[in-house]
């Protein structure tokens, strides 16, 4: 199945290509857009990015698999990134992650239709640890007791990461 970018994405990519001496630097932005439109980066999505930017498939594949925000498999609508790095761990980050895991019945790294649960490295919110990131929304100073309410909020108001792609 061959894919196509929406008119809006095509416009964004064309505008970005003006900002660099070649098209290759636009690969990250194009991958973000492809993930937004197609949900994940299938082989076809990678091929589309390649033909759009005149890049070999192998190059696009190499880039897409280097960065942790890109996913090759379908994921949930909202990605819940729970930081367990040092500052968060010191104030209960793992307990928060465990609570998400129990409530969502997802192990870190797993997805349902609504959610992907990710054990995240430091998200630069250490002074408000434990911190959780969902798209453009931060949940700060989170306690396990707040997790159920956070999930309910995200069910009402999903925070897809593609919002800013």
Partner 1 sequence: MALADRNTKLVSAKFGNEDAKTLAGYEKLGGYQMLRKALAMRPEDIANEVKASNLRGRGGAGFATGVKWGFVPKDAKEVHLVCNADESEPGTCKDRELIYWDPHLLVEGMVISAFALKAKHNYIYIRGEMMREYAVIAKAVEEAYARGYLGKNILGSGFECHLTVHRGAGAYICGEETALLNSLEGLRGQPRLKPPFPAIKGLFGNPTIVNNVETLMNVPFIVDKGGAWFAALGPGRSGGTRMLCVSGHVNKPGVYELPIGITFRELIDEVCGGVWKGRKAKAVIPGGTSMPPLTYDELDVPIEFDALMTDERIKPVEIAPGVPFDMGGGRQLRSMAGSGGVVVMDDHTDIPKAVWRIMKFYAHESCGQCTPCREGTGWMTKVAKRVADAQGKPGDLELLASIAHGIAGNTICALGDAAAWPMLGFLTKFRPDFEAALAASGAAA
Q: Write down the least CB distance from residue 137 to ligand FES, Å.
A: 15
Partner in contact with 20, chosen from partner 1, ligand FES, none, beta carbon below 5 to 8 Å by kind? partner 1
Q: Which of 45, 52, 75, 81 binds partner 1 (CB under 8 A)?
A: 81
Q: What is the residue-wise DSSP string for 3-68?
A: ----HHHHHHHHHHHTTSSSSGGGHHHHHHHHHHHHSS--HHHHHHHHHHHT--HHHHHHHHTTST
Q: What is the dihedral angle through the alpha carbons of 160, 162, 164, 165, rounded to the nearest 10 degrees? A: 170
Q: Footprint of ligand FES on residues 55-94 (CB under 6 A)?
A: 83, 85-88
Cα–Cα dist 14/105, whole Å? 42
Q: Write down the least CB distance from residue 109 to partner 1, Å.
A: 13
Task: Determine the distance from the C-alpha atom of residue 130 to the mean position of all C-alpha atoms in its chain, rounded to a whole number.
Answer: 19
Q: Which of 138, 144, 146, 153 binds partner 1 (CB under 8 A)?
A: 138
**Cross-strand bridge partners of residue 120:** 83
Q: Which of 118, 131, 150, 154 binds ligand FES (CB under 6 A)?
A: 131
Q: Which of 26, 31, 129, 147 binds ligand FES (CB under 6 A)?
A: 129
- Interface residues with partner 1 (CB under 8 A) are 16, 19-22, 24-29, 31-32, 55, 62-63, 66-70, 81, 84-87, 89-91, 120-129, 133, 135-138, 161, 163-164
């Amino acid at each position: 199945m061959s894919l196509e970018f929406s008119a809006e994405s095509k416009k964004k990519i064309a505008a970005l290509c003006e900002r660099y001496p070649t098209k290759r630097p636009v690969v990250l932005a194009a991958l973000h857009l492809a993930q937004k439109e197609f949900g994940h980066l299938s082989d076809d999505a990678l091929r589309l990015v390649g033909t759009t930017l005149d890049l070999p498939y192998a190059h696009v594949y190499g880039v897409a698999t280097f960065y942790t925000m890109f996913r090759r498999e379908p994921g949930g609508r909202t990605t819940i990134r729970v930081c367990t790095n040092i500052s968060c761990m010191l104030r209960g980050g793992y307990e928060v992650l465990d609570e998400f895991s129990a409530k969502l019945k997802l192990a870190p790294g797993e997805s349902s239709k609504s959610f992907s649960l990710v054990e995240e490295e430091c998200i630069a919110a250490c002074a408000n640890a434990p911190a959780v990131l969902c798209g453009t929304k931060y949940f700060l100073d989170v306690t396990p007791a707040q997790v159920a309410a956070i999930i309910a909020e995200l069910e009402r108001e999903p925070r897809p990461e593609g919002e800013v792609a």
